[in-house]
């Protein structure tokens, strides 16, 4: 859980889905425990742990840029909802999968790294990247430099570790298509259509209404287009934070709710894990129904509105 949260906050939800899904599945298989509870934990926390800066989810830095708040003040605003976004999914997963998680296991013997030079260099890039992400340097610049350095390292030391299959073409094409669709809808007057749905106040019911609108739109299309569609209707810091809660914590019902979920599905397919989406969506609906009102209540209490 801690690894999922840290990876999401500092490297965004998509790397969490891409990197940690095979890690937890293969580790679970290696020690002889069911991989499904751990795979679902990665998928859910990749989304629900993403309100916190500096990276986490693209709507998060977009909201941070729009708010006239210092980074510490922004963290204070969304910290409470972020805690709810971690605690509630984990509590539900522990309850639902309690039988699978009982007992212990015998860890397999550790294996030495195949390329210690590549490992140490990768660790060095990580050590330098983490402080750069919170230093004020543009996140895109820090991440791009780190990615280029790692790509060069792999190209030199392990060229077979960079197959074209690593590029998630289908999820990216779908996400880009949704962005174009939202832009076209805005040009046709989407704001006027959504205004009665999203409301305009800052009371608890109004904020919950906006968060629910964000969650519904995220599950219908995708969380980033949903945020871009509703952002013009969230004109204050607390309303922007409520929208952030909806689009980040809400997309647990549909495969296309976030790019991270699409990437997670792709990784599970390569690992020969079959997904039964209907039970997972119903479980996600339960989590969102509990988590969203609690997160909005925490937001309103912390904001003092």
Q: How far apart are CA 163 and CA 21, in angstroms?
A: 18
Q: What is the number of other CB atoms lying within 10 angstroms of the CB of residue 179?
A: 14
**8 Å CB contact between 238 and 280:** no
Any residues with CB less than 8 A from the CB of 67 and at least 6 apart, and which? 74, 77, 237, 240
Cα–Cα nearest to 81, from 215, 224, 195: 215
Q: Where are the domains of the chain?
A: 2-101+166-303, 116-157
pLDDT at 107: 64
Which residue, chain included where needed, has tokens 């980040």?
248
Q: How far apart are CA 229 and CA 195, in angstroms?
A: 11
260: exposed, middle or buried (C-beta count within 10 Å: 0-12, 13-18, 19+)? buried
Structure tokens at 47: 């989304």
Helical H runs in the chain? 2-11, 13-15, 21-31, 36-48, 59-66, 71-96, 116-133, 139-157, 169-187, 190-198, 204-220, 223-230, 237-249, 259-270, 277-303
Quote the DSSP letter at residue 108. Answer: P
pLDDT at 32: 82
Per residue of the chain (305 residues), give pLDDT as tens. Answer: 888 888 888 777 787 888 899 999 998 888 888 899 999 999 999 999 887 765 556 666 677 777 766 667 777 888 899 999 999 999 999 999 988 877 666 666 667 777 888 888 888 988 888 788 767 677 778 878 988 898 888 888 888 777 766 666 776 677 677 778 777 876 777 767 777 777 778 889 999 999 999 999 999 888 888 888 888 888 788 998 899 999 999 999 999 888 889 889 988 998 889 888 999 999 999 999 999 999 999 999 877 65
């Amino acid at each position: 859980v801690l690894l999922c949260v840290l990876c999401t906050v500092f490297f965004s939800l998509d790397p969490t889905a891409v990197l940690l899904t095979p890690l937890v599945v293969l580790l679970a298989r290696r020690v002889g425990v069911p991989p499904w509870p751990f795979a679902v934990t990665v998928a859910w926390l990749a989304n629900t742990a993403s309100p916190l800066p500096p990276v986490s989810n693209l709507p998060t830095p977009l909201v941070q840029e729009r708010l006239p708040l210092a980074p510490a003040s922004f963290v204070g605003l969304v910290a409470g909802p972020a805690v709810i976004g971690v605690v509630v999914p984990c509590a539900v997963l522990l309850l639902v999968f309690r039988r699978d998680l009982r007992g212990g296991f015998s860890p397999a013997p550790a294996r030495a790294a195949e390329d210690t030079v590549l490992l140490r260099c990768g660790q060095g890039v990580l050590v330098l990247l983490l402080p750069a992400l919170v230093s004020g340097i543009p996140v895109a610049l820090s991440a791009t430099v780190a990615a280029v350095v790692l790509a060069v390292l792999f190209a030199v030391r392990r060229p077979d570790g960079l197959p074209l299959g690593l590029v998630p073409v289908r999820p990216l094409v779908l996400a880009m298509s949704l962005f174009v669709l939202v832009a076209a809808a805005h040009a046709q007057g989407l704001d006027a259509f959504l205004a009665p749905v999203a409301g305009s106040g800052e009371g608890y019911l109004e904020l919950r209404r906006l968060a629910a609108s964000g969650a519904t739109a995220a599950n219908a299309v995708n969380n980033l287009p949903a945020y871009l569609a509703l952002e013009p209707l969230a004109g204050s810091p607390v309303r922007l934070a409520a929208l952030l809660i909806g689009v980040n914590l809400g997309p647990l019902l549909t495969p296309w709710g976030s790019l991270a979920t699409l990437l997670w599905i792709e990784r599970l397919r390569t690992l020969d894990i079959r997904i039964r989406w209907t039970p997972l969506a119903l479980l996600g609906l339960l989590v969102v129904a509990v988590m969203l009102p609690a997160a909005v209540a925490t937001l309103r209490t912390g904001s003092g509105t």
